[in-house]
Every structure is written in C-alpha cells, then in structure tokens.
Amino acid sequence: MRNFLVILLLAAAGLSQTQPAAPPPAIDQENARQARQVIDQAIEALGGKFYLSAQDVTQGGRFYSFFHGESNSAGIPFGLVTKYPDKDRFEVIRMRNYHILFWTVGNVPAKDKADIVLIHNGNKGYEITYKGTAAEEPLDTVTYLRRRQHSLAMVLRNWIHEPGVALLYVGTGVTEGKPAQQVTVVNANNDSVTLWIDEHTHLPIKKSYSWRDASDKLRNVEDEIYDNYKPVQGIMTPHSVTRYLNGDMSNQRFINTISYNQNPPDSLFEANVTYDPKAPPRKK
C-alpha cells in the first residue's frame, strides 16, 4: 500500500518514474495542501459548522435493492434515524406513515411478516421482526461496521483530524458526467477512502473504498454516488444515494423527508435479544 501511495503521489505531482522514489518534502507539502483545500471547500459547501456539528439525522423515503445490477424490488418505504457517532435505526414497517415515524410509535413491536427493524448501537447489531428480536448475522454486522467506518461523515468529521493521516491530491477528471477533483484520504492504518468533489459546487459526487474478503482474499470495491442535493437546515443534503459493489449497483435510496438535530431518545437504539433464529424449534 505504501509503495502504491508513493506512485500515486508522484503521478499527481506530475513527476516521471525516473525521479527519486520519494518526492522532495516541498512537493509532499504542496500536494497535501492542495488536497486539504479541496476537502475544506467540500466541507464548507456541505454547510461548514452546521454540517460538522450535526448530532443526528432522521430521513424517510424509498429503498431499492439490486442483484447483479438488476432491480429485485419495487421499492420499499423506509425510515432511518442516525445518531452520531455510532447509533442508527432502520425501519420498514407498513403500519405507519413515515413522516411521523419515530415520534409517535417508539418501540412498538413489528407485527406484519414484511416488517423489519435493524438497530446498530456501537459494534452490536439487532434484527427485529414479528418473531421477536435476534442478534444480527455476524457477517451483516461486519459489513455494516465497515460501511460506517468508511462513511462520508466519518471521513470528513473524523479521519482528516486523526494522527498520521495523509491527504493526497490525485488530480482532475470527470465522474458521473461532472468535472471533479479527486482526493484520497489515508489513515495511519493504511486504510483509504477516495472522494470525487464537484469542481463547480465543491459538493461530493462519489466516494470509494476497497477491502479484501476474509474468506477468499479477493479485493472488493464499494462506491457511493451522491446526487440531487438540497439545503436542509443549513446543510446541503443529497436526496439520492446509490451504492455500487464491484461495479454493480447494489442499492439506491431516494429521500423524501429529512431533518437534523431532532434529539431522538437513546431508547430507539436499545434492544434485547429474545430468540435465536438458528435454534431448533421446540417440540410441542
């Protein structure tokens, strides 16, 4: 990874491979300064202090899932409340109107077989259905924690301030049909996230990161595309978020309602396991 970053930095600085393996400190500093400028512009475009100080976000809309890039659902109404830095609750419950989702029903159990509530609190995950509350499948929790660690909010609010972080300005190009500046953020563990920032609006267009699967050791790439930005309480908010896995569209969210700093109660993110879905059925 370190060799790759050196090559990437040389290319971004316009140096040929005949130059020394490590660029002079002045080039390092200029490249990092340029990357920091792009990131600072993105944060300011997103809302500056309003974006950075948001404590929670509540949203509702429709969710579409895909398999091998093909839609396998007609769109599901959803509600999602996130409380930074490590709590969220995702709900698909047919019995409710989603614009009043969290403030009128609290923890009323799911009743319909299609209802589902996913809760993440710290490093634990729970799944609530009409059967009760079960611990989330370990692989699903690992996937969720990986996405949270590489989320746009985590990168812009946390990563860039961590000791040992490196900011690399990669250059300009076109993504999603828009001219963009590309910046890679690398933390002290050599974990990286690449951002594409709109040259004109300075808003994030795309985010990308990769990891190796623990079972087959193959490299996977996950991308998120942000579109249809609208101002909400001083924060420019994408109302369309599309996720890709290894080049195939995996899911898409269209947001109808969204609000910040509603101070949701911690009880929304609490759960107690009531059954084990893998346990054999009891004999009558």
pLDDT digits (tens, 9 = 90+) for 141-174: 999 999 999 999 999 999 999 999 999 999 999 9
Answer whether residue 78 shows pLDDT above 80.
yes
Q: For 39-165, list the strands marked E by DSSP.
A: 56-67, 70-71, 76-83, 87-92, 116-121, 124-129, 132-135
88-97, 130-139, 197-206: which has the minimum mean pLDDT? 88-97
Q: Are residues 180 and 42 in the same domain?
A: yes
Domain match, 93 and 183 both: no
pLDDT for residue 2 is more than 70: no
Contact in structure between 78 and 61 (CB atoms under 8 Å): yes
- Dihedrals φ, ψ of 179, to 5°? -65, 135
- The answer for residues whose C-beta is within 8 angstroms of residue 123's C-beta and 6 or more apart is 86, 141, 145
pLDDT at residue number 95: 47
Across the chain, mean pLDDT equals 84
Number of domains in the chain: 2
Q: Within a domain: residue 81?
A: yes
12 in any annotated domain: no
Are 184 and 206 in the same domain? Answer: yes
Angstrom distance (rounded) from CA 258 to CA 231: 10
User: Residues 28-35: contacts with CB within 8 Å, 24+ apart?
Assistant: 31/168, 31/169, 32/166, 32/167, 32/168, 32/169, 34/169, 35/167, 35/168, 35/169, 35/183, 35/184
Q: Bigger pLDDT: 100 or 56?
A: 56
Whether residue 277 lies inside any domain: the answer is: no
pTM for the model: 0.81
Backbone angles phi, psi at 160, to 5 degrees: -70, -10
Of 272, 263, 218, nearest to 102 by C-alpha is 263
Say which range, 12-16, 80-84, 229-233, 249-253, has the weakest mean pLDDT. 12-16
Task: Report, as an integer, the average pLDDT of 54-83.
Answer: 83
Q: Which residue has the higher pLDDT, 67 or 235?
A: 235
Domain contains 184: yes
The residue-averaged pLDDT of 97-126 equals 63
| 246 and 177 co-located in one domain | yes
Q: Are residues 163 and 238 in the same domain?
A: yes
Q: Is residue 8 part of a domain?
A: no
With cut-offs at 50, 70 and 90, classify the pLDDT of residue 222.
very high
Indicate if 169 and 32 belong to the same structural domain: yes
**So what's the pLDDT on residue 103?**
32
For residue 108, the enclosing domain spans: 56-63+71-145+264-269
pLDDT range class, residue 3, cuts 50, 70, 90:
very low
Distance CA 207, CA 255 (A): 19
- Within this chain, do residues 161 and 224 fall inside the same structural domain, yes or no? yes
Q: Let me know the angle formed at the C-alpha of 221 by 193 and 134, rounded to the nearest 5 degrees.
A: 95
Question: Any bridge partners for residue 218, and if so which?
Answer: none
Predicted confidence band of residue 113 (pLDDT cuts 50, 70, 90): low
